[in-house]
Structure 1
Amino acid sequence: MVIRDEQNSRELVIAADFGTSGVKLAALDRSLSLLATAAEAYPLSLPGPDRAEQQPDDWWQALRRGIAALHDQIPDLRERAVALVPCAQMCGLVCVDRAGDVLRPALISLDKRAGAMSRKMNGGFPAVAGYRADKLFTWTRIANGAPSHNGMDPPAKMLWIKTHEPEVWAASHKLLDVKDWLIFRATGALTTTADSANLTWMMDTRPGREGWSPFLAGRLGIPLDKLPEIVDGASIAGRLAERAAEDLGLSAALPVVAGAGDVGATAIGSGAVEDGQLHVYAGTSAWLSGFFPSRRLDVFHSYATIASSVGFRPLLIATQESAGTAFAWAARLVGESAGDSDSALDTLYDGIGELQDDDPLFVPWLAGERVPVDDDRLRGVLYGLSVRHDRNAVLRATLEGVALNLRWAMSKVARQKGVRHDLPLPLVGGAAVNPRFAQLLADALDRRVEVRAPRHAGVRGAAAIAGAALGWFDSVQAAAPALSSGPVEIYDPEPAGVARCAARAARLDRHRKGLLSLYR
């Protein structure tokens, strides 16, 4: 028995979090402690306006390099690993044929080429919030939401391929999200999880009826047999195939857990696993998210709950387009070479001075917006520039603008029944490492903000899902004590900062109303 206990204590899972620019990897033990970490980048192709693509094999090669780095840190990684689990960017589209070959570069979440097609797909008369009323009623009744107008959701991407690349469409055996393809490459299993399925808006999410909806798929003209099987995130999707095991230096037949999309994994990894408890993610994009006991929907402000990957538990997602991208953009604007958004926050935003009452106001709609207004045509603005404003004023305004944009979204989300206003707000993502931004957010939202392992929330959440699949935890929720352990930085709202943010937010609200009509 002692021998078995020692063996258990040495077990670890390998979690991989695939973003738009690279993958973060970690080896974690039963307490969800990080034993080793690695990160690998891969290319992002922008072949035209509103287009964003990646080669799926680049994801795999980055995974291979990252696991090799974990091997270097943990020499007996192969012997100790008991599962591999991914989480990944969502709303991607990978077309594979019957032989399993990728037919074209993947359209990733950032791709908006199908924006006009999406508006046509959704629209008609009479309209409600840009949707033909009967379409909206049916989608919301069955799927608890509808495709966004900006073309980023999978159904618009699928219809774009069907219309503009009919030969690819005809040869496509399965249409996969990013995580789904990675699991297929690792195991040969063609599966998805409910979170990705829900965002195709072809899934019935009504309690007791969860699964693909023949009616919704038929209305879009998407054959059901092109869609993968929906499995629970805390289940074994498959086992590592010989070829993949050789690539990764891991044992053949190693369990590969189905995992989750990035939002669901990050929600768990943030530690905000109680019903109604929200967290904030601020990385390349930003979102407010949290679990709820039942479905929630706000058509007019473009957010809803989706079925999460584990047990179909409703997960509210309110996404905003630009956070870290705005920080990096502002750095370039003032003539700095910032690299990615994380490095910009690590160095450039230090020493820029305190926010001034007459600093410019910034609206970070650099790639349109999603919540609380869904419109890819919107564009960002710096208001109130004068000859006395310098680079530091622009950088300060950018940090504040992202925080106030999240305040704008929170003003709508906070109205939802069951939101826990009494709990601290976990902040995760690359922006969370910057104390100035964390304090700004606390002041803007007038809430205590907690920062704990902010760059590893995705891998920790994925590992918690794997832990539930392996029996380490009775449920994902039971992993909460492990997720809430470790060092924490606390940012309480400061009265002067709260007052300043409230005053500047009121000014910004007045400007925003005019700006919304300018781009429509």
Structure 2
Amino acid sequence: MRVVLGLDIGTSSTKALLARFDGTVIAEVGRRHEVDRPEQGLVEMDSRIWWDEFTTLTRELLERVPDAEVAAVGVSGIGPCVLLTDGAGEPLRPAVLYGVDTRTAEMLADVTAELGGEGAIRRRCGSALSTQAAGVKLAWAARHEPDVWARAARFTMPSSRIVERLTGEYVLDHHSASQTTPLYDVHENAWIPEWCERLAPGLEMPRLLWSGDPAGAVTDAAAAATGLPAGIPVTAGTIDAWAEGVSVGESVPGRMFLQYGTTMFMIVPTSEPTAVPGMWTTVGTHPGQPSVSGGMATSGAITDWWRRLVDGDWATMLAEAESSGAGANGLLMLPYFAGERTPIADPDARGVVAGLTVRHTRGDLYRATLEATAFAVRHNVEVLREAGVEVRELVGAGGGLLGRLWPTIVTDVTGLPQTVPSVTIGACYGSAFLAASLVEAVDITTWNPPSTVIEPDPDAYAAYEPGYRDYRELYEATKSVVHRLAERGRRSAPRGPDGGPRGGLLPGGPAGGSVDRSC
């Protein structure tokens, strides 16, 4: 039986699956893992997890489906991340994660000035600098860890690291490169040599490919480690949100893709590179597919935190939240439990719950978390529209779609219809589609056709309107106090046995099911 293998390395777990060339999923497996928080604002991961889980899950799939003949491999992973390796490909330090890691916040203004100001950066890169920008994370390592930097030869992200281990090729897909701001020109689809040398001196930059391009073939050594056939093609891969977008056919201007998971990611394809204040301009998985994207620092992570705090189960808490009704019986939450990425770009933002009384239940609080994420989506939509980017519909994927409450709330808050595809597994499914495309012609509309469309309820939209306006006002009203609290938290965070702060939101699960169900 000819199949393809799709894998995704997520914030909280790694997922892999085998699929036929018609999109039918034959088997899927997963492993949970954790991130490290050595200090407040620092979020890292031991990169050895990535290859260990890839080899383990691949062998498990092949044992489950002994007649499987894997024809190609597709990979994706969290990003933009930075893993520094030496000339032999050995990691020099833990990988620095995407925008949830805020170590570069104090560098942004200086680096912006060094490169000629925000306008100069936007003209070439499409986006201003933020803690999401992987290029500044490289600059941080060069300036703050000179001993490590002296031995650094290359950098990879989770997907490109797996590609390198499978094929021996040092490559990066254009989309991931477009999130290494300010090192990549979104108009020229190329590295900016002078800025690469200024921020990442001496580092060899990877060869650029599009996500669905063949990066190389599985080597004999990789075949021995994984059980895969030697010589089969491997895609260049990409960041998980874009692979997940591929899985639902998101490459239509005006259609916003929503990734329901530990964090929430949003992608809107555009006809040309468009700079939107507070958001990220990137290129897509294929040539001629520019996009504007945004991301929340937490979403499903908050619901998982609350579920664990009250020792509840998903089904019961979703039922309680549904019974709470629109407006959560007078509760309003800001979902900035790990700072926030777009559109406010505030690493010192924090979660706020307003309106609490002794009458409120755990269902009310659970409902408030779902509504908070929906308000955040609408905030991003409004910023996009103010910049002239059309958003007329939504399409979702990820574990949060397993229950319909969360996407229904998002639809009602935004007033936008939302398509739910037949398969909502996520990024590993999109990676499998890209792998299948290496071997034969496949069409995503038949690979993963729509299942249903959630239409907005005009009455619910009107009921949410006052809450959304209060949501926008609550952040501004509490910002100065919250920033002071964030500073105190940095000084007084309780230390765990490893010397780092205890607790932390990541990893977490989506609101509609455990994270193991979502890539």
Q: Is this a same-fold pair by TM over 0.5?
A: yes
2:166 is the counterpart of 1:175: no
Paired letter, 2:3 = L
User: Is 2:23 the partner of 1:19?
Assistant: no
Matching of residues 473-484 of structure 1 within 5 Å: 473=442, 479-484=443-448
Distance 1:206 1:156, change over 3 A: closer
Between the aligned partners of 1:366 and 1:212, the Cα distance in structure 2 is 34
TM-fit CA distance, 1:32: 2.0
- 1:58 and 2:49 are equivalent in the alignment: yes
CA contact (8 A) 1:17 1:262 kept: yes
CA contact (8 A) 1:40 1:63 kept: no
Indicate yes or no: 2:364 matched with 1:393: yes
Q: Structure 1: which amino acid aligns with 2:318?
A: Y
Does residue 214 of the first structure (1) align with residue 193 of the second (2)?
yes
Contact 2:12 2:32 in 1 (8 A): yes
Structure-2 residue corresponding to 1:239: 217
Q: Are 2:441 and 1:472 equivalent residues in the alignment?
A: yes
Are 2:258 and 1:280 aligned? yes
| TM-score of the pair, normalised by structure 1 | 0.87
| Residue of structure 2 equivalent to 1:84 | 73
Q: Is the 8 A contact 2:218 2:229 kept in 1?
A: yes
In the alignment, is the contact (CA less than 8 A) between 1:240 and 1:255 conserved in 2? yes
Deviations 1:94-148 (A, max 9, x none): 1111111111111122322232223432358xxxxxxx9x421211111111321
Assess if the C-alpha contact under 8 Å between 2:59 and 2:226 holds in 1. Answer: yes
Give the match for residue 473 of structure 2: 510
Contact 2:175–2:211 under 8 Å retained in 1: no
The CA distance in 1 between the partners of 2:330 and 2:366, in whole Å, is 10
Structure 1 range deviating more: 183-192 or 323-332: 323-332
Q: CA deviation at 1:175?
A: 1.3
Deviation at 1:92, TM superposition (A): 1.0
Distance in 2 separating the partners of 1:107 and 1:420: 32
Query: Offset of 1:366 from its aligned partner?
Result: 0.6
**Counterpart of 1:403?**
374
> What is the aligned partner in structure 2 of residue 249 from structure 1?
227
1:183-237 C-alpha deviation (Å, 9 max, x unpaired): 1111111110111111112444354x321111322343x1364221111222211
Q: For 1:141, which of 120, 123, 135 is the aligned residue?
A: 123
User: Given the alignment, which residue of 284, 289, 292 partners 1:316?
Assistant: 292
State the distance in 1 between where 2:215 and 2:223 align: 16
> What SS class does the counterpart of residue 308 from structure 1 fall into?
coil
Root-mean-square deviation (Å): 2.2
Q: Aligned letter for 1:499?
A: A
Name the counterpart of 2:488.
none
| Separation in structure 2 between the aligned mates of residue 206 and residue 192 of structure 1, nearest angstrom | 15
Secondary structure of 1:40's match?
A: strand
User: Given residue 118 of structure 1, which amino acid in structure 2 is its aligned partner?
Assistant: L
Give distance in 2, aligned partners of 1:242 and 1:228: 23
Letter in 2 for 1:348: M
Give distance in 2, aligned partners of 1:387 and 1:347.
21
User: What is the 5 A alignment of 1:255-266?
Assistant: 255-266=233-244
Q: 1:94 aligns with which of 83, 87, 104?
A: 83
Return the match for 1:492 from 432, 442, 455.
455
Q: Which residue of 2 aligns with 1:120?
A: 110
The verdict on how the C-alpha distance between 1:60 and 1:204 changes in structure 2, with shifts beyond 3 A counting, is: closer
Counterpart Cα distance in 1 of 2:288 and 2:94: 30
3-state SS of 1:456 partner: coil
- Structure 2 CA distance for aligned equivalents of residues 236 and 322 of structure 1: 33
Range that drifts further, 445-454 or 314-323? 445-454
- 1:442 partner letter: T
The one-letter code matched in structure 2 to 1:143 is C
Deviations 1:125-178 (A, max 9, x none): xxxxxxx9x421211111111321xx3422232122222321210111101112
Partner of 2:341: 370
Code of the aligned partner of 2:397: V
Q: Deviations over 1:292-336 (max 9, x none)?
A: 22101112xx11330123225212211111111111222244x22
Preserved contact between residue 174 and residue 283 of structure 2 (Cα < 8 Å): yes
In the aligned structure 2, how far is the partner of 1:420 from the partner of 1:499?
Answer: 19
Structure 1 residue 69: deviation in Å?
2.4
Where in structure 2 are the equivalents of 1:151-166 lying within 5 Å?
Answer: 151-166=131-146
**Per-residue deviation, 1:368:** 1.1
Q: Report the AA paired with residue 440 of structure 1.
A: I
- Alpha-carbon shift at residue 33 of structure 1 (Å): 2.1
1:71 is aligned, of 49, 62, 67, to 62
Measured against aligned partners, the alpha-carbon deviations of 1:56-107 in whole angstroms (never above 9, x if no partner) come to: 2211111122112211331122xx2111110111121111111111111111
SS of structure 2 residue aligned to 1:289: strand
Shift of 1:397: 1.1
Report the AA paired with residue 144 of structure 1: G
Mapping 1:194-233, distance limit 5 Å: 194-207=174-187, 209-220=188-199, 222-223=200-201, 225-233=203-211
In structure 1, the residue matched to 2:274 is 296
> Gaps (5+ residues) in structure 1?
1-9, 125-131, 338-343, 474-478
Residue 341 of structure 1: aligned partner: none
Q: Percent identity?
A: 22
2: CA distance, partners of 1:39 / 1:56 = 17
> How many Å separate the matches in 2 of 1:223 and 1:310?
29
